[in-house]
């Protein structure tokens, strides 16, 4: 992982300092920054140990999110009861019944509303503070909210243009638009080809639909597209792909999935629709079914296990910490190969990885489909695009 330059860090610190003075709505900003710092080190707070959650409860009591009596009872009672009691308090406080998914974003939104309803300064403070403490190393990628720069359109101009577009694109009368809540975000994103783009996202929430109206612009103010609630529910290709993804699973079903969706994705892109990069990625892979002349998956796994032992010194117990995503595909020369991808994916395996018990985040072993010869062994870095993909 590349380290930030000293100049970049200085600029980042100046940006955060400026944003802190502009952030008024976020309230207990020191608590949220403490939470980001500790999640950067320990991972999402919903996965913390008992002692770490006790510290979290004390901090919550300091800012009035829980009663002091709750904290005292937990410290004095039995350990097993404590753990359940902590989870109950977290669920009651933040409305999250699955504490393994609890993190700073969910906590802040439970107290302050969804992130897009905050000011641009407040949204940017969250992202820049995460960036300051290298939050992604333990928590994965996150939305990078930013402030407008010199070449970006002014937020008020974008909102004005959006109101006009909402009227024409969604055929809504002005009275209905005026009654809507407008939420604005400015987001930095990196496309699949490595190009960084900045774009505005506006949400027009009419408080009646499950999904808001969405209008998007480039950072310099050019209209990109729009999405209506009905589009999200019925016509959005990403929603359809998500529902059908259960049929992607094994090496036997992947070719049929791609045959079905690759043409539809191509048509969607030709129309200018947004298709998530992950779906574009997997549907560009030439999956194939092995023939009777090819070795079986079990044989391929046995060869891969031996190769990992010989090349990287991994024993079976260590390999067992990795999740296997297998596929059969054609390589650049039209030859059928087994593609075996071993990735850290379980909580236990992540703990080992971050503690140094596992040296590599993942491996890809490519075998000749017929002979079983090892063609290539490469390591997978956690920061690589689609490193976690079940491809």
- pLDDT of amino acid 70: 58
Closest CA to 2 of 256, 283, 294, 383: 383
- Quickly state the pLDDT bin for 1 (edges 50, 70, 90): very low
Per-residue pLDDT at 228 exceeds 80? no
Contact partners, residue 285, CB within 8 Å, separation at least 6: 254, 258, 327, 329, 391
Contact partners, residue 210, CB within 8 Å, separation at least 6: 229, 233
- pLDDT of amino acid 317: 78
Mean pLDDT for 333-359 is 80
Torsion sign (Cα): 167, 172, 173, 174:
negative
pLDDT cut 70: percent of the chain above it: 79
Q: List Cβ<8 Å contacts ≥24 apart for 328-332.
A: 328/251, 328/287, 328/288, 328/289, 328/290, 328/294, 328/369, 329/285, 329/286, 329/287, 329/288, 330/286, 330/288, 331/366, 331/375
Angle between helices 29-42 and 50-62 (to 10 degrees): 170
Per-residue pLDDT at 175 exceeds 90? no
Q: Which residue has the tokens 């109206």?
A: 213
């Amino acid at each position: 992982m590349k380290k930030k330059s000293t100049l970049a860090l200085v600029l980042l610190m100046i940006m955060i300092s400026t944003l802190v003075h502009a952030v008024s709505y976020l309230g207990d900003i020191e608590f949220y920054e403490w939470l980001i710092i500790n999640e950067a080190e320990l991972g999402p707070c919903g996965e913390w140990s008992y002692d770490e959650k006790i510290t979290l409860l004390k901090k919550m009591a300091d800012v009035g999110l829980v009663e002091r009596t709750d904290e005292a009872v937990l410290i004095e009672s039995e350990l097993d009861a404590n753990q359940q009691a902590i989870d109950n308090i977290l669920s009651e406080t933040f409305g999250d019944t699955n504490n393994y998914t609890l993190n700073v974003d969910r906590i802040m939104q439970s107290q302050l509303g969804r992130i897009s309803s905050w000011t641009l300064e407040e949204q940017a403070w969250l992202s820049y503070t995460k960036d300051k403490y290298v939050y992604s190393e333990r928590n994965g990628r996150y939305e990078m909210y930013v402030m407008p720069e010199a070449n970006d359109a002014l937020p008020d101009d974008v909102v004005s243009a959006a109101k006009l577009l909402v009227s024409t694109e969604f055929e809504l009368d002005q009275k209905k638009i005026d009654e809507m809540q407008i939420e604005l975000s400015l987001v930095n994103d990196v496309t699949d080809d490595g190009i960084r783009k900045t774009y505005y996202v506006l949400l027009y929430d009419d408080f009646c639909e499950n999904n808001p109206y969405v209008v998007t612009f480039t950072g310099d103010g050019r209209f990109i597209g729009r999405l209506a609630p009905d589009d999200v529910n019925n016509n959005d290709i990403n929603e359809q792909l998500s529902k059908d993804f259960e049929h992607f699973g094994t090496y036997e079903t992947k070719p049929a999935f791609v045959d079905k969706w690759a043409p539809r994705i191509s048509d969607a892109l030709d129309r200018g629709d947004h298709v998530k990069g992950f779906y574009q990625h997997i549907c560009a892979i030439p999956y194939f079914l092995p023939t009777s002349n090819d070795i079986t998956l079990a044989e391929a796994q046995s060869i891969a296990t031996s190769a990992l032992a010989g090349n990287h010194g991994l024993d079976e117990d260590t390999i067992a910490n990795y999740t296997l995503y297998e596929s059969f595909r054609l390589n650049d020369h039209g030859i059928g190969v087994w593609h075996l991808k071993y990735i850290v994916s379980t909580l236990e395996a992540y703990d080992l990885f971050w503690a140094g018990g596992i040296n590599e985040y993942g491996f890809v072993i490519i075998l000749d489909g017929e002979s079983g010869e090892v063609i290539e062994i490469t390591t997978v870095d956690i920061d690589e695009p689609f490193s976690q993909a079940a491809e």
